Amino acid sequence: MRAFIDNKLVIASNNDGKILELQEILKVFDIHILSNKDFNITEPIEDGKTFKENAYIKSYNTASKTKLVSLSDDSGISFKALNNRPGIHSARYAGKKKNFTLAMKKLNKELKFSDDKSCKFTCALSLCWPDGYNITVQGEIYGEFTWPPVGEKGFGYDPIFKPNGYSMTFGEIDSRIKNEISHRALATNKLVDFLIKVYDWIFQHNLNLMYVYADEN
Rounded Cα gap, residues 58 and 216, in angstroms: 21
Is residue 74 annotated as a catalytic residue, yes or no?
yes
What count of other Cβ atoms lies within 10 Å of the Cβ of residue 42?
Answer: 8
Among the listed residues 148, 163, 140, 166, the one whose alpha carbon sits nearest the alpha carbon of residue 107: 148
Which residue in the list 38, 73, 74, 115 is annotated as catalytic? Answer: 74
Asked if 140 contacts 186 with a C-beta cutoff of 8 angstroms, the reply is: yes
152 Cβ contact partners less than 8 Å away, ≥ 6 residues apart: 159, 171
**Secondary element (H or E) of residue 74:** strand 69-79
Rounded Cα gap, residues 192 and 146, in angstroms: 32
Helix (H, G, I), strand (E, B) or coil at 121: strand
Asked if 128 contacts 70 with a C-beta cutoff of 8 angstroms, the reply is: yes
For helices 16-25 and 183-199, what crossing angle results, to 10°?
A: 50
Rounded Cα gap, residues 194 and 186, in angstroms: 12
Instruction: Just list the catalytic residues.
Output: 74
